[in-house]
């Protein structure tokens, strides 16, 4: 089905039980309530969605914004709004603390604006102790919901508008995927596309499977239909999103592999670039590498999290691959796609990490020569097996290792980046440069950032750019 016209929905009838028709009914009802409230306060109500965390969260926020716009809110990018939503992340403890800190500011805003509403959603809300803390210390929050029932936002908004108490709706898990709800994209020319939700891997340090639930894949027809609609609306690049895209389709009947899905996406006319993330090494297939190598649309970039180069720690982390297997995958990728950019995630200071374990990580980093790496100091997450370990690493030791790793990552990344200097690359211009209004900023196929002279008319277009100067992890270019 396509998106429904809210003005054609009969609110005198009971709400449908089937999705997504039920949510469109509540969108129509919310639109009526928001219009009444706007009349009472004398202006169009404004809403701000602030996103913490990953690209999955960013895509979820676009869905929230799509519903907010449909029901009559004016979307703004500041928190002096009538409705503020925090879409939260809980991968690291400081992400939680950041939200609590921001809530203090919102409380003072709400004191000045009595009809203001505050909602919290996302991964952090799936932790029972977080919800308990909010109930005890942050009673001014109006609405709390999690990751599994985000599609119910319109219904929950109606409940909250009718209630003078905190509305809480958290699900432990779900196998439900609701399609065809509104989305308000950040960019006109590129878009994230969820292909699956949840994770089955249970890495020992990671909270994601507990807050995002078990893996469930969208049907390929629904994904392809969504991308076709996006392309018709001007989208040139899609990012296929999943916690582990390489395991896509395992719960479908019949099963469809990620490589098979990519082949179908590749056939969509008008689509010019395909990206995806994140790939788990244990599920990276030869079939996928072959599809990437043969495609003219799939970007030559693979984000392949290593986490550690120590086989002992990889086993403790429940990663299901060895350093040898990882290096073999890198070799296969570079053999099939010589210019591929490989990026990664690395954790320093996992409980029990010895100097020998760390040197194993450094060895893999040296052997691979990453284009860039996201390096993290281990963050204890309550509820994960690693958090219960007693052999936590002293802060000064972790800091020393982190600095040593960062130096090698930067050196290798700069060396690989400099090899492109003087070449001409196809760049998708994404925005005006944030520091210099005479420049625009775009990305190459391998995800590298390029700044070049230009104006707003170039945004959303592909241009050929000569890379004049390498500045570490970005380039200064000139259009050719």
**Are 222 and 257 a contacting pair, CB within 8 Å?**
no
Q: Minimal CA–CA distance to 145: which of 178, 168, 114?
A: 168
CB < 8 Å & 24+ apart, contacts of 329-338 = 329/281, 329/284, 329/304, 330/304, 330/367, 330/368, 332/286, 332/289, 333/289, 333/302, 333/304, 336/289, 336/290, 336/292, 336/293, 337/289, 337/292, 337/293, 337/300
Q: Which residues pair with 464 in a beta bridge?
A: 426
The sign of the CA dihedral 152, 154, 157, 158 is negative
**DSSP letter at 393?**
P
Please name the residue ranges forming H helices in 296-394. 311-316, 323-336, 355-368
**pLDDT tens digits, the chain, 480 residues: what are they?**
457 899 999 999 999 999 999 999 999 999 999 999 999 999 999 999 999 988 899 999 999 999 999 999 999 999 999 999 999 998 877 788 899 999 999 999 999 998 999 999 999 999 999 999 999 999 999 999 999 999 999 999 999 999 999 999 999 988 889 999 999 999 999 999 999 999 999 999 998 888 889 999 999 999 999 999 999 999 999 999 999 999 999 999 999 999 999 999 999 999 999 999 999 999 999 999 999 999 999 999 999 999 999 999 999 999 999 999 999 999 999 999 999 999 999 999 999 999 999 999 999 999 999 999 999 999 888 788 998 888 999 999 999 999 999 999 999 999 999 999 999 999 999 999 999 999 999 999 999 999 999 999 999 999 999 999 999 889 999 999
Torsion from C-alpha of 166, 167, 168, 171, nearest 10 degrees: -170
Q: What is the b/e burial string over 191-229, where b = at least 16 CB atoms within 10 angstroms of the residue's CB?
A: bbbbbbbbbebebbbbbbbbbbbebbbbebeebbebbbe
Q: Minimal CA–CA distance to 28: which of 45, 7, 14, 46?
A: 7
**Residue indicated by tokens 């690693």:** 386
**Are 248 and 256 a contacting pair, CB within 8 Å?**
yes
A 10 A CB-CB count for 153 gives 27
Q: Which residues pair with 431 in a beta bridge?
A: 441
> What is the side-by-side strand order in the sheet with 190-194?
190-194, 237-241, 273-277
Q: What is the pTM of this model?
A: 0.90
Q: What six digits make up the tokens of 209?
A: 């499977």
Give phi and psi for 144, each to the nearest 5: -130, 125
């Amino acid at each position: 089905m396509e998106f429904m016209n809210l003005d054609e929905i009969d609110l005198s009838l009971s709400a449908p039980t089937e999705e997504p028709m039920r949510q469109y009914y509540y969108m129509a009802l919310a639109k009526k309530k928001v219009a009444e409230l706007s009349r009472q306060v004398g202006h169009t109500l404004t809403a701000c969605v602030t996103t913490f965390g990953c690209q999955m969260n960013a895509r979820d926020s676009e869905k929230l914004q799509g519903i907010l716009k449909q029901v009559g809110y004016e979307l703004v990018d500041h928190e002096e709004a009538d409705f503020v939503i925090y879409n939260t992340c809980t991968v690291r403890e400081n992400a939680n603390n950041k939200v609590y800190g921001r809530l203090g500011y919102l409380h003072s805003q709400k004191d000045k604006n009595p009809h203001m509403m505050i909602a919290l959603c996302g991964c952090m809300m799936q932790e029972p102790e977080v919800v308990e803390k909010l109930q005890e210390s942050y009673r001014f929050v109006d609405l709390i919901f999690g990751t599994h029932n985000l599609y119910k936002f319109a219904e929950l908004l109606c409940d909250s508008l009718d209630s003078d108490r905190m509305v809480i709706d958290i699900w432990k898990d779900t196998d439900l995927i609701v399609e065809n709800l509104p989305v308000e994209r950040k960019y006109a020319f590129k878009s994230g596309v969820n292909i699956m939700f949840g994770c089955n891997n249970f890495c020992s340090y990671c909270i994601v499977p507990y807050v995002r639930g078990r893996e469930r894949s969208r049907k390929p027809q629904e994904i392809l239909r969504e991308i076709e609609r996006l392309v018709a609306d001007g989208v040139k690049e899609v990012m296929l999103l999943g916690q582990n895209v390489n395991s896509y389709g395992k719960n479908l009947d019949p099963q469809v592999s990620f490589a098979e899905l990519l082949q179908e996406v590749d056939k969509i006319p008008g689509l010019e670039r395909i990206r995806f993330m994140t790939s788990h090494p244990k599920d990276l297939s030869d079939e996928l590498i072959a599809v990437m190598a043969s495609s003219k649309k799939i970007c030559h970039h693979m984000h392949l999290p290593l986490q550690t180069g120590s086989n002992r720690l990889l086993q403790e982390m429940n990663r299901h691959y060895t350093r040898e297997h990882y290096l073999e995958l890198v070799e296969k990728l570079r053999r099939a796609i010589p210019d591929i950019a490989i990026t990664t995630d690395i954790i320093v200071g996992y409980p029990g990490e010895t100097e020998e374990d760390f040197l194993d990580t450094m060895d893999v980093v040296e052997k691979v020569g990453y284009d860039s790496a996201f390096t993290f100091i281990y963050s204890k997450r309550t509820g994960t097996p690693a958090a219960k370990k007693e052999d936590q690493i002293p802060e000064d030791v972790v800091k020393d290792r982190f600095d040593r790793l960062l130096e090698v990552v930067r050196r290798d990344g700069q060396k690989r980046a400099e090899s492109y200097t003087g070449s001409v690359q196809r760049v998708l211009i994404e925005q005006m440069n944030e520091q210099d209004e005479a420049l625009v900023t775009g990305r190459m196929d391998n995800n590298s950032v390029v700044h070049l002279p230009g104006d707003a008319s170039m945004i959303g277009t592909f241009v050929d750019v000569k890379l004049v100067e390498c500045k570490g992890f970005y380039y200064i270019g000139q259009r050719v």
